[in-house]
Structure 1
Amino acid sequence: MPGMALKQGVEDMENMHARGGQGRRTQDRVRLDRARAQLARQAAAFSLGVPVEAVQATGRGTAEAAQARQVAMYLAHVAFEMSLARVALAFGRDRSTVAHACHKIEDMRDDAGFDARLDDLETSLRAMPSPALPAAAPLNADGRHRAELCW
């Protein structure tokens, strides 16, 4: 089953070199890739008017959900400069599925309106702070961080 192999691949990658620093870096990269994939899913879902739950579904779903998922994969690859293999791992899909999605979305960029929308999404995603590095909280007069969130 492809899903089981992918799940095993994720677990293998997360556990690789678990005793050394490289294993920690690998785990951190996988977590960062998953966070970026989630951000790309949410941006694509919002922009295309598709519920994010439909984009996250494991099955194909509706044509609109499938297209939003393809846009999200494309955005993760282009905006976050993730390899196709890393996008596949983060989305729980096969690398060939991600390659197909990227080719399909690239072909759709011939439409000026769609191209402009993707340009805006790419720019927005590139401008987002890294999920692994939260924004610093403002400081009080005594130099300590305030307890409130800063967004």
Structure 2
Amino acid sequence: MTVRIETHHSHAPRERLPSVHDDAGLAQVLALISRERKIPIRLLVHVSRCQADTARARQLAMYLAHVSKGISLTAIGAAFGRDRTTVSYACSLIEDLRDDARFDAELDRLEAHLMAGGENE
């Protein structure tokens, strides 16, 4: 799967920044979250905070990229134009939300889909 994503990071526009299309696992996570939450990938990786539902979907993508795909917090932060501590916070927040049985079941389903290689995309 090839996903080409333009990111709009405010710093160093001429230097090549790590991007989400550099990592197939991250691209797979973004495609899944974009489809499931009906939010364009460009908004998921945008540096602005956006609306609450977009921010939550971004946090979910960060969490799944780290937990399901094993991508480092630093690499995820670089791809999203954020600091690794922001990614760590997002992962902790999503982990806390897993106390809700319905949310936990949704995450289990998404993780299983990613672990299976994302067939039927």
TM-score scaled by length of structure 2: 0.75
User: What residue number does 1:4 align with?
Assistant: 11
Q: Distance in 2 between matches of 1:48 and 1:9?
A: 29
Q: Over residues 44-77 of structure 1, what are the superposed CA-to-partner deviations in whole Å (9 max), with x where a residue is unaligned?
A: 2222333333223221110000000000000000
User: What residue number does 2:99 align with?
Assistant: 110
- CA RMSD after TM alignment: 2.7
User: What residue number does 1:41 align with?
Assistant: 30
Structure 1 contact 37–91 (Cα < 8 Å) conserved: no
Higher helix share: 1
The gaps in structure 2 that reach 5 residues or longer are 1-8
Q: Distance in 2 between matches of 1:53 and 1:4?
A: 17
TM alignment of 1:105-144, pairs within 5 A: 105-128=94-117
User: What residue number does 2:53 align with?
Assistant: 64
Identity %: 41
Alignment partner of 2:74 out of 85, 91, 99:
85
Q: Distance in 1 between matches of 2:10 and 2:30?
A: 19
Task: State which structure, 1 or 2, has the greater radius of gyration over its C-alpha atoms.
Answer: 1
Alignment partner of 1:31 out of 13, 16, 22:
22
- Partner of 1:4, secondary structure, is coil
The Cα shift of 1:3 comes to 4.7
Runs of 4+ in 1 over 4 A off after TM superposition: none
The gaps in structure 1 that reach 5 residues or longer are 12-29, 130-150
The Cα shift of 1:43 comes to 1.3
User: What residue number does 2:3 align with?
Assistant: none
Structure 2 contact 47–80 (Cα < 8 Å) conserved: no
